[in-house]
Structure formats: C-alpha cells, structure tokens
Amino acid sequence: MDNELTALAATGAAGLVQLMLSDAWNLARDGFARLLARRPGPPDASAELDAARSRLLTARVSGDDPVVREITAAVRARLLDRLRVDPSAREELRSLLDLAPEGNTGAGPGTVNNTISGGVQHGPVIQSGRIGGIPFGEPGRG
C-alpha cells in the first residue's frame, strides 16, 4: 500500500508541477489548494502554491532544473503525507490530475513538428500546442 501511495504522490507531484507551468493552472489551482490545506499547519495553501508557481516559472526561463526538482520533491512529500492521513484524498488527487495537459509528464519539452499546407503563406502563421479543455469566452457564460 505504501508503494502505491508513493507512486501516486510522485505522479501527483509531476502533474501538479506540469499544471503550474501550463495554462490549465487556473483550472486546477483551487482544487489543489483545498486538497493540501486539509492538514495541520498553515491553512493558506493557495499562497504556498502561488509562490511555488512563481519560482517554477522563473526557473523555467533561466533553465534552473534544480529548483524544479526541489519543488517537485517538496510537493511529492506534501502529497504523500496528505494521502497517508486521508484516504479520500486519493480520488480527489486523481481527479485533479485529469486537468493536466495530455501526454506531457513534466519531464521536459516534447517533439514539435510543423506543417503548413494550402499554398504560400504571406501572413503570420500561428504555432500552438494542443488547445483543448479550456473554455474560451467570458467567465460564467456557457
């Protein structure tokens, strides 16, 4: 059972870090804050997550991989503690991980292949990764 929790915590930490570095973070932030706040100690997990995200974004720009590993390890330890104390946190964590961008485990950049078709392009070409699962438009409107 402990191996299962350790594996789930490691997957959760990698997913959380990946979410922090993605546009999907705004969708997942409050859920992770609620999950991590259910423990003894400082109740404001949101501020801790925001500070960690800020450090991650700075580390990504500067290529500071040790900071990314440090934050991932700290999150893994927090999640493992949470999972050991509260069995219901397992399903909640799995649900939150469903928000992570598919196919990206946080291990690094993926492969990029560009194809432009339909003739000669005389204007800007927009390159993007996968766009999905993020609602566009005004908040609160379907």
Is residue 114 in some structural domain? no
> Does 55 map to a domain?
yes
What pLDDT is stored for residue 87 in this prediction? 86
pLDDT (0 to 100) of residue 121: 73
**What's the pTM?**
0.64
Low-confidence spans in the chain with pLDDT less than 70: 1, 39-43, 101-116, 125-142
Specify if 106 maps to a domain: no
Note whether residue 137 is domain-resident.
no
Query: Per the domain annotation, does 89 fall within a domain?
Result: yes
- pLDDT for the residue 73: 93
Q: Which domain holds residue 19?
A: 2-97
Whether residue 135 lies inside any domain: the answer is no
Residue 94 one-letter amino acid = R
Per the domain annotation, does 123 fall within a domain? Answer: no
Is 28 part of a structural domain of the chain?
Answer: yes
Number of domains in the chain: 1
> Would you say 56 and 67 are in contact if contact means Cβ atoms under 8 Å apart?
yes
Return the residue matching tokens 């720009």: 61
Distances 68 to 58, 71, 88, 98, 122 between C-alpha atoms, Å: 10, 5, 28, 21, 40
For residue 29 the two structure tokens come to 């932030």
pLDDT at site 137: 52
Question: What confidence score (pLDDT) does residue 74 get?
Answer: 92
